[in-house]
Structure 1
């Protein structure tokens, strides 16, 4: 089995076909277990995550029923029970979870000396994303932290990819592609620096200066600070 959390929760079999996980609480159980990266989650914690302050009359039995449903989908050997709680059987080296594949590709890119290879690997890593992490469960307390960490990693890798693409002369396309992202994350200085460099190299100097001034004004208004030294030097 392979699991996707870089977007809505999805399961694929070994042949790549989507495996249906029925019923919302069974899917929520799977999301919670995946958010713990193969580590155990106690029964009490799972009951709280699934039912909150309104547990069923026999919560342990209700949880066991959901675990049994999940085992019927994934295979009994893939949902393990041990004294510390329930966990998924995962082999990190096999990159069964798309988030693990994303992190592995990112690590390969950071180790690559060739900027073209680095850009290609980062592009491949970002191509694994299908939407916000754990998109259908991102508001659930049990996965919120994991989802936020992954979304932050995605944004950081996007910044790295932009810098790698600038290093290989891909500024013309990049200048346009970064516009929406900068609008959604107006205070990220590393992202803004990549956009300003791309605009400048694309011959759009006035837009590059306008972007810098927009950031400077926003930082002053929202945080009472000036742009950091890297952006100031770039300006």
Structure 2
């Protein structure tokens, strides 16, 4: 089997499909693996963490939902033995490592991994048509709930609850891309039933309200907002977030910005955080662009994403400055020590201002010195490691604790300031924007994000 993953073609001998009923294919042809439900379920658990050890105790806990029989360990060993025999002809191994098992082998494809790769690729694609294409391919992998014939709903939540969340994120991102392409009718048809199932999912509701507005259905858009607001207040005691309130305000005002097609999408959803699109061409620039409209009193809704330590940690993983293990560890530490996390966040904001000043005004020696001190502190924590793709990468070591994402971006910022490419950094001169971007051509004067087009009378311009 061949598949295109994030822009390249990869050859796979063995394909496992977990998004729906369990399926295994070798060279594109179905093969029988695991005739018993629990065997398929166990293999699915291992495939969700291909190459990593899953402890036997966790397998037992999941298979019997916390109520294992006395012979559970022996049963797991029996299941593994049968699966090894079934998988051996296809070059797939289940290795015993310590107190657990791991699936190993060359040329293994798992649809859950493929789906995640396509969503991540869509999240950094600048062209809405390309984003929609990638997300169409990813969502086409869904044939039903995770391990539909081998796991119940409770087990699916425990196994990989984020998979369903990622599917909804993909649907929302595709809807936003479709709106940018002028396809509001498609968005309404797809999101209407989902809004009934997930009535307090604010991102989904905001996109659907925009689509309804463009379809001359303002009354329905307003009614949808009222329903969502009532449910949020009744069930959670909270008001809608700033983005949803802003969309509602624009619907009531008849704001023409909701009618614009081709308007850029400012955010990408990573886990349950809204982060800006990767727009600057460099992590340090994206870090500076955490506030859309540096000179504006009221920035665009959701533009200030550096509002919590969790967001900072998730962003550092999204931008490739930290790996997934580090991000999960950071979130755990932040829950245990919120005061330190808040202090690190304040440092990150101060560093952002210094880095921004260094890039827009090379003569600002005070700002450069602040960046230099942060970079020197970061350098003492950096280690050089071999990454999964075989290349070496500098990473901030986990011993840096909650300061890890700050060290990571300081190291990245120092590299940018030392790079001749720094001379191509431009700041949009519109007083209501100020976004930074790399301009290798030397021709552009205005950013192309639409952030300085916050009002209809001042559209974003380019040379």
Q: Same fold (TM over 0.5)?
A: yes
- Distance in 1 between residues matched to 2:24 and 2:122, nearest whole Å: 26
Counterpart check, 1:128 vs 2:128: no
C-alpha contact 1:47 1:55 (8 A) present in aligned 2:
no
Alignment of 1:84-233 (within 5 A): 84-89=99-104, 96-135=109-148, 136-139=150-153, 141=155, 144-233=157-246
- Distance in 2 between residues matched to 1:150 and 1:212, nearest whole Å: 27
Q: Which stretches in structure 1 are left out of the alignment for 5+ residues?
A: none
Measured at CA, do residues 196 and 139 of structure 1 come closer, stay the same or move farther in structure 2, by a change above 3 Å? Answer: closer
Greater per-residue strand proportion: 2
- Distance in 2 between residues matched to 1:121 and 1:64, nearest whole Å: 40
TM-superposed deviation, 1:111: 1.8
Question: Residue 17 of structure 1: SS of its match in structure 2?
Answer: strand
Question: Residue 133 of structure 1: SS of its match in structure 2?
Answer: coil
Name whichever of 44-53 and 149-158 sits farther off.
44-53
* Higher-Rg member (1/2): 2
Aligned residues: 230
Counterpart check, 1:34 vs 2:47: yes
Among 72, 82, 86, the residue aligned to 2:97 = 82
Given the two structures, how large is their TM-score scaled by the length of structure 1? Answer: 0.87
Task: Tell me the residue number matched to 1:9.
Answer: 22
Task: Tell me the residue number matched to 2:283.
Answer: none
Residues 63-112 of structure 1, C-alpha deviations (whole Å, 9 max, x = no match): 33221211222117422223342111156xx5610011001111211121
- Distance in 1 between residues matched to 2:20 and 2:125, nearest whole Å: 27
Structure number with the bigger relative contact order (C-alpha 8 A, sep ≥ 6) is 1
- RMSD value over aligned CA atoms? 2.2
Alignment of 1:52-63 (within 5 A): 52-56=67-71, 61-63=74-76
Measured at CA, do residues 174 and 8 of structure 1 come closer, stay the same or move farther in structure 2, by a change above 3 Å? Answer: same
- Distance in 2 between residues matched to 1:28 and 1:192, nearest whole Å: 35
Task: Tell me the residue number matched to 2:86.
Answer: 73
Question: Residue 200 of structure 2: SS of its match in structure 1?
Answer: coil
Counterpart check, 1:19 vs 2:35: no
Question: Residue 109 of structure 2: SS of its match in structure 1?
Answer: coil
Given the two structures, how large is their TM-score scaled by the length of structure 2? Answer: 0.46
Greater per-residue helix proportion: 1
Measured at CA, do residues 44 and 103 of structure 1 come closer, stay the same or move farther in structure 2, by a change above 3 Å? Answer: closer
Q: Which stretches in structure 2 are left out of the alignment for 5+ residues?
A: 1-13, 249-463
C-alpha contact 2:45 2:159 (8 A) present in aligned 1:
no
TM-superposed deviation, 1:48: 4.7
- Distance in 1 between residues matched to 2:243 and 2:73, nearest whole Å: 55
